[in-house]
Amino acid sequence: MTAFLQQLLNGLSLGSIYALVALGYTMVYGVLRLINFAHGDVYMLGAFAGYYASKLLHGRLNGGLPEAAVILVVSMIACALVGMLIERLAYRPVRRASRLTLLIVAIGVSLLIENLAQIFFGADPKFFPQILPERMFEWRGVLFTNQQILVLATAVLLMAALTLFIRRTRTGKAMRAVAHNPDAARLMGINVNSIISLTFALGSALAAAGGILVSLNQPSIDPLMGLMTGIKAFVAAVLGGIGSIPGAVLGGLILGLAETFVAGYGSSTYRDAIAFFILIIILLCKPEGLLGKGQVEKV
């Protein structure tokens, strides 16, 4: 029983990582209908931004929460800028082109970031500084750390905040309008370009937050860390219903649990395949994802 609960917690902890990254994926997709392959790489850049920020800050703040907060904010701002830059330079020129073109550009951006990162940061893994001291807890033999809780709580909190933002604020309303029909939104006086820019900034900042929180938990970062995480997070987003914010979190958690239970109770060698296997099953039964809204394609 203890082992089962421990695996459950492991699964939630892994799933919350996917959920954090999936949030940004789903936002960008919801507004732009673009699989932003570079999202996983922005997540990686977030972790590296945090790494270099903490090197620069080292000794200037007394560690602990303030330092962690500063590092988090710096990295989120840096990645928001990167995200806006990517959108402005690569995606905007092809926004009206076919989806295939958009997808290929996204693949190109992802490859570009990964390879530049290998050149600038080096291919070897780096140790991510423990900017938040780790504490262990035990409950009925189940062991967990404050950082695992932090990642899970952040994912859920961000989900709530994002949902509120999109449902209740004027900007959120504008985002929904752009997602629904960009041309009509423009006619209504919405600045479509700045709304899309903002979406990217927000999505990338989320990715950066994810990168830092995850790296606290798994303190080894390298230029290719976003590759698999990004793809699995995307799978999570599709699983939950792409474009749906609660769906991204749900999908992430399900994926994390599935991988953990397959590795823990089945065969760990098939762990990497299970994510895709579930995805295929879900898509075949319910193509819009668990929480997605069915779409009727209009002529």
C-beta separation of 16 from 252 below 8 A: yes
Positions in 79-98 near another protein (CB under 8 A): 90, 93-94, 96-98
Shorter beta-carbon distance to another protein: residue 161 or 270: 270
Cβ neighbours around 35 below 10 Å, total: 19
Residue 133 in contact with another protein, rule: CB under 8 A: no
Can residue 127 be called a binding residue for another protein (CB under 8 A)? yes
Alpha carbon distance 149, 203 (integer Å): 22
Task: Give min distance, CB of 126 to another protein, in A.
Answer: 8
Determine if 69 is a binding residue for another protein (CB under 8 A): no
Of 69, 107, 161, 164, the one binding another protein (CB under 8 A) is 107
- The answer to the question of residue 236 lying near another protein (CB under 8 A) is no
Q: Does 143 bind another protein (CB under 8 A)?
A: yes
When the beta carbons of 69 and 100 are compared against another protein, the nearer one is 100
Site for another protein, residues 279 to 298, rule: CB under 8 A: 279-280, 283-284, 287, 297
Q: Among candidates 61, 85, 88, which has minimal Cα distance to 73?
A: 61
- Residue 245 corresponds to which amino acid? I
Q: Distance (Å, rounded) from C-alpha 134 to C-alpha 10?
A: 17
- Positions in 197-226 near another protein (CB under 8 A): 214, 218-220, 222, 224-225
Nearest CB to another protein, comparing residues 67 and 259: 259
Tell whether residue 146 is a contact of another protein (CB under 8 A).
Answer: no
Show the tokens assigned to 147. Answer: 């950082």
Q: How many residues bind another protein (CB under 8 A)?
A: 81
Within 34-63, the residues that bind another protein by CB under 8 A are 35
Q: Which of 132, 175, 195, 238 binds another protein (CB under 8 A)?
A: 238
Stretch of residues binding another protein (CB under 8 A), selected from 63-71, 154-162, 194-202, 227-235: 227-235
CA distances from 178 to 204, 237, 252 (A): 19, 20, 26
Q: Tell me: does residue 191 bind another protein (CB under 8 A).
A: no
C-alpha to C-alpha distances, 225 to 48, 54, 71, 101, 257, nearest whole angstrom: 11, 19, 20, 26, 20
- Where b means 16+ CB within 10 Å and e means fewer, 134-149 reads eeeeeeeebebeebbb
24 versus 182: smaller Cβ distance to another protein: 182
Contact by Cβ (8 Å): 176, 166 = yes
Of residues 246 through 265, those in contact with another protein by CB under 8 A are: 259-265
Task: From 70-78, 153-161, 245-253, 273-281, give the range in contact with another protein by CB under 8 A.
Answer: 273-281
Smallest distance, Å, CB 197 to another protein?
18
244: left (phi over 0), alpha (psi -120 to 50) or beta: beta
- With b for 16 or more beta-carbon neighbours within 10 A and e for fewer, the 188-223 pattern comes to eebebeebbbbbbbbbbbbbbbbbbbbbbbebebbb
- The piece of 62-70, 156-164, 167-175, 276-284 that touches another protein (CB under 8 A) is 276-284
